């Protein structure tokens, strides 16, 4: 067995996430990818197949990180709804960090970028977003059973509402706007979601 792989696959994918997150799928050229990952075309194509393949793997890394972040917030919170609010605050800290490649979500950026002549990518991001919706719906169904939600609240509708809140928060945060305004917005979103929770939101 000769020659060990010089380039760490994980390190390369981290760089890819950063570049795609900052510039989007179409906005990141292979030349820029070569620079960011410090790899030559031959190695890139041998390792990831093509630009699509690299993007898919980078997207998987990105969504995995986001899931972990939400999971951690839920673990350290006494109730599900408080876990959601804790996650929103944690997310706000993350995206307003000075070294964040972008504040908007990479999945949403791709959703808004991709057209009907890229059906594979389109289906991929739709699948990811549907998975998040399903996960949230399960969470809120448990929250409902535990009396955390007002009577009559549908868990799946609340799931889509919360997903739209995250999309809106992160898209607005992509504006040229100061960090305090983003944090205020997060608190206002939590307040607004209080219309669906049994007990008034704490903050």
Residue closer to DNA, measured from CB, 38 or 134: 38
Positions that interact with a copy of itself (CB under 8 A): 22-24, 26-27, 104, 108-109, 111-113, 115, 122, 126, 129-130, 157-158, 160-161, 163-169, 171-172, 174-177, 181, 184-185, 188-189, 191-196
Residue closer to DNA, measured from CB, 47 or 77: 47
Residue closer to a copy of itself, measured from CB, 11 or 191: 191
Does 45 interact with DNA (rule: CB under 7 A)? yes
What is the three-class DSSP state of 197? strand
Residue tagged 């980078």 (tokens): 58
Does 30 interact with DNA (rule: CB under 7 A)? yes
Q: Where are the alpha helices (DSSP H) in the chain?
A: 9-23, 30-37, 41-48, 51-75, 80-96, 106-113, 119-145, 155-173, 179-193
Does 162 interact with DNA (rule: CB under 7 A)? no
Q: Which stretch binds DNA (CB under 7 A): 49-57, 67-75, 97-105, 180-188?
A: 49-57
Closest CB 174 distance from DNA, rounded Å? 22
| Measured torsion, CA atoms of residues 124, 125, 126, 130, in degrees rounded to the nearest 10 | 100
Does 127 interact with DNA (rule: CB under 7 A)? no
DSSP string, 120-167: HHHHHHHHHHHHHHHHHHHHHHHHHHTT-B-TT--HHHHHHHHHHHHH
With CB under 5 to 8 Å by kind, the binding choice for 4 among a copy of itself, DNA, none is DNA
Residue closer to DNA, measured from CB, 2 or 200: 2
For residue 153, give every residue at least 6 positions away whose Cβ sits within 8 Å of its Cβ, in sequence order, or none.
Answer: 140, 144, 196
Radius of gyration (Cα) for the chain, nearest Å? 19
Contacts to DNA by CB under 7 A: 1-7, 26, 28-32, 39-43, 45-47, 50-52
């Amino acid at each position: 067995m000769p020659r060990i792989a010089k380039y760490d696959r994980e390190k390369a994918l981290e760089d890819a996430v950063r570049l795609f997150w900052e510039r989007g799928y179409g906005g990141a050229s292979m030349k820029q990818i070569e620079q960011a990952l410090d790899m030559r075309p031959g190695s890139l194509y041998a390792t990831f197949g093509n630009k699509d393949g690299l993007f898919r793997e980078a997207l998987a890394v990105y969504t995995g990180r986001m899931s972990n972040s939400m999971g951690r917030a839920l673990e350290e919170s006494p109730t599900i709804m408080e876990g959601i609010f804790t996650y929103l605050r944690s997310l706000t800290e993350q995206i307003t960090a000075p070294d964040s490649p972008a504040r908007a979500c990479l999945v949403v950026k791709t959703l808004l970028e991709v057209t009907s002549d890229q059906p594979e990518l389109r289906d991929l991001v739709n699948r990811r977003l549907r998975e998040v919706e399903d996960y949230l719906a399960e969470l809120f169904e448990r929250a409902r059973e535990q009396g955390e939600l007002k009577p009559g609240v549908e868990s799946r509708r609340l799931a889509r509402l919360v997903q739209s809140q995250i999309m809106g928060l992160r898209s607005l945060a992509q504006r040229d706007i100061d960090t305090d305004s983003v944090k205020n917005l997060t608190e206002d979103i939590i307040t607004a979601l209080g219309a669906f929770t049994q007990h008034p939101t704490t903050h």
